[in-house]
Amino acid sequence: MNKEIISSFQKMIDVNTPIIYINDYDFVRVDELIKQVIGKQKVEEWNPATGITDFNNKTTKGNQPLADFLVSKYSIEPIAKLPNSFVVLKEPQDFIDDPTVKTLLALMSQRKLYDPMYECTVIIVSSVLKVPVEIEKYVSFLEINLPDDTEIKRLMDEHIEVNDYDKNKFTDNDREKLMPSLKGMTAFEIDRMLDMAMSSNGSLSADDKEMILRQKKLMVKKSGVLELIDVKERIEDIGGVDILKKYLKRKSAIYAQLHEATKFGVSTPKGVFLVGMPGCGKSLCAKATAAQFGAPLLKMDMGSMMGKYVGESEANLRKALRIAEAAAPCILWVDEIEKAFSGVGGNNDIMTRMFGYFLSWMQEKSSAVYVFATANNADKLPPELKRKGRFDEIFCVNLPNDKERKAIFEVHLRKKNRDTNLVKPDLINATKGFNGADIESVVNEAIEQCFVDNKQDLTTEKLRDVARTTKSISKSCRKQIEDMEKIFKENDFTNASEESKPSQSRY
Ligand code: ATP
């Protein structure tokens, strides 16, 4: 177990923390940690399935409802100063809302804080995070970091040993190739993956990487905090934004050989931030990036993470980021990030804490999770998000210029198997102020009209006529667009398009 975790745990005990909460389902590893820190001291475990046991020798001591068990711990008479005693509550989440249980935990905590003769520390070990508000102030959370390279290597070697596999057949090359696919998982999950790999072909080798990555995708699907997005779009399906496309192609080349690149001294790309007008292709770019990187696209929806228990929202965010790390290499798409963190800095403590956690994760992350954040509104962005060290680059996407509108028309005509030569200068002029979504709708509408009018051939005139009757974004939201262009300039965001002057009239 990592030394840092052991020392944080020890510190929590030293400073007299009444309740230590370990939100983890890898009970074997957590038990090892508890044993390592508390050693041979008196520890009793309560578990809804197995009852009360002596934690150290696992002998059973009967069965009691949680409230009765806690009563017996609360009412210990302080005849003399007792040695430290610990109570481990495993999976108590279904019982913790009981008013007697909540009250007893609060009373035990107060006694621990104010009665020098009372030394009972409660350690809650639970696969879900559920802390009633009544006891929140007595709780410290202990986070168990995921295994690092050394531990993953140890787990792999242990598997080879335990399964009597010829050590010489599992080379350093196999170890090095498997390592990235096993990152981001708990020791329990790694063990399961290695078991599966060994049972499928009786051995362990670099070839098992594909199977492990497939399993990781299933983990994402089951997680409930991230959505696995199906991607059909390619980078060639994006019209315009040539600077951004070139940039993404370069980053994808680094990801394709991340190991060599980092050995060479290249920093692992952290991610990109795209701010832009609605309907200008931000989502399209996120999807095409995943295709370009050849990596799964995971969408993080902040709204669905907000929980009703203390710490639940933060735990969901931690879980989402951990799962993204487990699925690495992957693209983590944080859509409308400005909405997710709009309450930051104000009265919304939960949002502020989540934002802080997200930022430090971005800052410290070394895993192959490429963050693709998108925002419609650059005005409401907390300034910390824009600071260097978080995202590698912030791009702004303006309304498409003449050349880009031509390219977008061509993309959508090609998709509908129509001649791209239909895009003539007068059509480009008629669509000034249109975004990508407007152009796509012109193509769709024109084709639909042609079909209804006796399946006529699509013509430039038809496209132009439809464009003239289309209410483009710049007609409906002119003021917002002008404001946004101003903000782009003030912030000095990198223009995603090749045109050097973002303010050049596009409408
Ligand atoms: P919002 O902020 O409203 O979510 P967005 O910027 O994410 O919008 P998308 O959803 O990516 O925009 O685009 C909307 C539609 O417009 C998509 O169906 C996409 O095909 C089309 N589109 C937008 N921009 C482009 C582009 N540059 N090239 C080709 N198609 C585009």
pLDDT(220) > 70: yes
For residue 85, list its beta bridge partners.
42, 120
Q: Please determine, for residue 83, whether its predicted confidence score (pLDDT) is greater than 60.
A: no
Report the alpha-carbon distance of residue 36 to residue 6 in Å, rounded. 8
Query: DSSP string spanning 253-269?
Result: HHHHTHHHHHHHTPPPP
Report, as an integer, the average pLDDT of 250-268: 90
The mean per-residue pLDDT over the stretch 252-272 comes to 90
pLDDT of 343 reads 65
% of the chain at pLDDT higher than 90: 43
- For the residues 273-285, what does the mean pLDDT come to? 93
- The pairs formed by 168-171 with CB atoms below 8 angstroms and a separation of 24 or more are 169/203, 169/205, 170/203, 170/204, 170/205
Between 474 and 405, where is the model more confident?
405
Question: What is the Å distance from ligand 1's center to 496 Cα?
Answer: 14
- pLDDT tens-place string over residues 420-448: 999 999 999 999 999 999 999 999 999 99
Is pLDDT at 121 greater than 90 in this prediction?
yes
Greater confidence, 300 or 308? 300
- Give the DSSP per-residue string, 175-212: HHHHHHHHTTS-HHHHHHHHHHHHHHHSS--GGGHHHH
pLDDT score, position 79: 47
Look at residue 366 in the predicted model and tell me its pLDDT: 76
For the chain, percent of residues with pLDDT exceeding 70:
94
Mutation to probe ligand 1, out of 235, 280, 395 (largest number of atoms < 8 A from CB): 280
Q: List, chain by chain if needed, residues with CB within 6 Å of any ligand 1 atom.
A: 238-241, 276, 278-284, 376, 408, 411, 436-437, 440
pLDDT at 157 over 80: yes
**In a mutational test of the pocket of ligand 1, which residue from 284, 299, 402, 495 has the highest number of ligand atoms less than 8 Å from its CB?**
284
- Quote the pLDDT of residue 238: 96
Length of the chain: 507
140 Cα to the center of ligand 1, angstroms: 45
Looking from the CA of residue 233, the nearest atom of ligand 1 is 20
Query: Of all protein residues, whose CA lies closest to atom 15 belonging to ligand 1?
Result: 437
Question: Residue 240 CA: which ligand 1 atom is closest?
Answer: 27
Residue with tokens 């000095």: 492
pLDDT confidence of 84, banded at 50, 70, 90? low
pLDDT at residue 210, rounded to an integer: 84
The CA 236 to ligand 1 mean position distance, Å, reads 14
Name which residue sits closest to atom 29 of ligand 1, judged by CA. 238
pLDDT band at residue 270 using 50, 70 and 90 as cut-offs: very high
Tens of pLDDT, residues 12-59: 999 999 999 998 878 888 998 999 998 778 899 999 998 999 988 888
- Give residue 497 CA to ligand 1 midpoint distance, Å: 15
Q: How far is the CA of 277 from the centre of ligand 1 (A)?
A: 10
What is the CA(439)–ligand 1 centre distance, in A? 10
Asked whether the predicted pLDDT for residue 501 surpasses 60, the reply is no
Write down the pTM of the prediction: 0.72
Nearest CA to ligand 1 atom 3: 278
Report the C-alpha dihedral over residues 127, 129, 134, 138, rounded to 10 degrees. Answer: 80
The pLDDT mean for the chain works out to 87
Supply the DSSP string of 98-162, one letter for each residue: SHHHHHHHHHHHHHHHH-TT--EEEEEEESS--B-HHHHTTEEEE--PPP-HHHHHHHHHHHHHH
Which residue's CA lies nearest to atom 30 of ligand 1? 436
- 366-380 pLDDT, tens digit each: 788 999 999 988 777
Q: For residue 127, what pLDDT is reported?
A: 85
